Amino acid sequence: MIERVLTPDRPHQSSEAEAPTDRGAARTLALSVAWVVWATFAQLVRGPATRAPDAIWAEDAAFLNHAIHRTAWENLLTPHAGYVQVVCRLLSDAVALLPPSWMAVGIAAGASVVVSLLSLVVWFASASVLSSPWARMTVTALVPLLPQASFEVNATGANLHWFLAYAAFWVLLAAPTSIRGQVVGSLVVLVAALSDPLTALVLPAAVLGAFVRRRRSFIVPSVMVVGLVVQGAVRLGQPPLQWVKSDPHQLPWIYGLRVLTSSAIGDRELGLFYDTFGLTGVLVVSAVLATLFLKILSLVNRETRLVALLAATTSVAYLCIPLALRGNEGYLDHGPLFLSGSRYTIVPLMFLWLAVIAVVDKVLTQRGQPHAFRLAPIAITALLSLQLVASVGGETVRSHSPSWEDDVRRAAETCTQAPPTTEPQPRLAFADHPGPGEVQIVVAPSGLAIPWGVVMPCDRLR
């Protein structure tokens, strides 16, 4: 039964209780399906103008290129940007089987379904750590509905590894011991490890999970280690990648602006805030939030404190380490602040909220808690809801991109000409130049010197 997969083990029930249990399982299944459908829909309708189902995003096109022109086995462990991304490869292989006009819908819908399913993993796994339904619902809803995800990450296959890392953390923390729990947990952590080497940053959750749950569960962490070994073996054969210059001294300020301040006011207001108050404002907001967090941290027991501190530490690490490797040039530029690179803030934001919610949840269950804490869930929910509303209609990286369906139609018309490519076509990122009987379809974002796009055989367009 679904609710028994990752949640704490229950004692055996008598046959008289089996019928109510079956009804409960059916209700849980129905609610789970309803949540996946709704959460998927919510991701697909984000943003104005051109939305995710009609615009393939950048790197998704690169993966789709490989899926169209190579076999699934050739693609599975082929590195992109220096590391293996299995989940995106599998999604692209499935989408490549669709008619070309459906491919944008396929990527967006497939990625959204995966994120929604991962949120279910978080819901069931969080039962071992969090007490209140509010806390569990909030950490679950953050997966598909995090406000800051709408600009760059929403409904993209290439960014699924961020959400997999968050789900893997919860699986390791839950430390499942049932057969079904270990099967599901092993699948989640294996796919996470084979989609991003940075997933190693959540491995300490396995140690904490064993401490908090007072049980030993080695299978799931061992499977994750195996995945990381494979990932590491592939990564060692790749050259180091640094896209832009890196300045380690800027990393604390970037975290203060793009994570701490963003968590308080949302990313849509960051530009105005930063232009008005600069780094002084970032310092003030960061200091206030850190002080409040340390204050409430002192009110909880050791287990909750360790969970919150690990989540906060992972939040910092998941921003600073990727940006140190990639480079952080441009993140603190003024006039206006551009939200490019938002993908690097998604995991830090989710872990930051996890740290806060875990502490608030524990304080609310204790006797003699401060009266003001009764309003904390309302305040946190209202804050996140306001940020979500502001982000739903806000521009995204795909808002001004051309329609994929229209471009596929034009490409089909080009294929009817003789020769099919009547004018020089631009070089595409991570794609071979089109050969005879092939045509290029440029995707979002537009205006790049070396655009992203898909090389489509004309046979697929007829």
Can you give the residue ranges of every domain in the chain? 2-11+19-392, 404-461
CB 440 within 8 A of CB 426: yes
Residue 324 exposed, middle or buried by CB count within 10 Å (0-12, 13-18, 19+): middle
Q: Which two tokens stand for residue 52?
A: 């995710």
Asked if residues 205 and 172 have their Cβ atoms less than 8 Å apart, the reply is yes
Rounded-to-integer distance, Cα 383 and Cα 380, Å:
5
CA 450, CA 353: separation in Å to the nearest integer? 37
The Cα angle at residue 65 between residues 239 and 94, in degrees rounded to 5:
110
d(CA 127, CA 116): 18
Q: Can you tell me which residue has the tokens 């537009």?
A: 446
What's the predicted TM-score (pTM) here?
0.92
Amino acid code (one letter) for 394: G
Q: Are 125 and 174 in contact (CB under 8 A)?
A: yes
- Write down the pLDDT at residue 140: 97
Q: How would you classify residue 111: left for phi > 0, otherwise alpha for psi between -120 and 50, otherwise beta?
A: alpha
Structural tokens at position 201: 């940053």
Q: Please give, one letter per residue, the 3-state secondary structure of the chain.
A: CHHHCCCCCCCCCCHHHHHHHHHHHHHHHHHHHHHHHHHHHHHHCCCCCCCHHHCCEHHHHHHHHHHHHCCHHHHHCCCECCECCHHHHHHHHHHCCCCHHHHHHHHHHHHHHHHHHHHHHHHHHHHHCCCCHHHHHHHHHHHHHCHHHCCCCCCCHHHHHHHHHHHHHHHHHHCCCCHHHHHHHHHHHHHHHCCCHHHHHHCHHHHHHHHHHCCCCCHHHHHHHHHHHHHHHHHHCCCCCCCCCCCHHHHHHHHHHHHHHHHHHCHHHHHHHHHHHHHHHHHHHHHHHHHHHHHHHCCCCHHHHHHHHHHHHHHHHHHHHHHHHHCCCCCCCCCCCCCCCCHHHHHHHHHHHHHHHHHHHHHHHCCCCCHHHHHHHHHHHHHHHHHHHHHHCCCCCCCCCCCHHHHHHHHHHHHCCCCCCCCCCCCCCCCCCCCCCEEEEECECCCCCCCCEEEEEHHHHC
How far apart CA 58 and CA 444 sit, in angstroms, is 6
Euclidean distance between CA atoms 250 and 252, whole angstroms: 6
Alpha-carbon span 440 to 458, nearest angstrom: 10
Side-chain-facing half-sphere of 388: CA atoms under 13 Å:
16
Q: Is 187 exposed, middle or buried (0-12, 13-18, 19+ CB in 10 A)?
A: middle
pLDDT in tens, the chain (462 residues): 344 445 544 444 444 445 667 788 888 899 999 999 999 999 999 877 678 889 998 899 999 999 999 888 888 888 888 889 999 999 999 999 999 999 999 999 999 999 999 999 999 999 989 999 999 999 999 999 999 999 999 999 999 999 999 999 999 999 888 898 899 999 999 999 999 999 999 999 999 988 876 666 789 999 999 999 999 898 787 776 656 777 889 999 999 999 999 999 999 889 889 989 999 999 999 999 999 999 999 888 999 999 999 999 999 999 999 998 888 877 787 655 678 889 999 999 999 999 999 999 999 888 766 677 788 999 999 999 999 998 888 888 888 888 899 999 999 998 888 665 545 667 888 777 788 888 999 888 877 778 889 999 999 987
Residue 14 has a pLDDT of 47
Place of tokens 């105005």: 272
Contacts of 426 (CB under 8 A, 6+ apart): 440, 442, 450, 451, 453
The pLDDT, as a whole number, for residue 4 is 45
430: amino acid identity, one letter: F
Q: Which residues contact 337 (CB under 8 A, 6 or more apart)?
A: 270, 271, 274, 275
> 99, 109 in Cβ contact below 8 A?
no
pLDDT at 423: 57
> What is the structure's pLDDT at 74?
87
Cβ contact 273:281 at 8 Å: yes
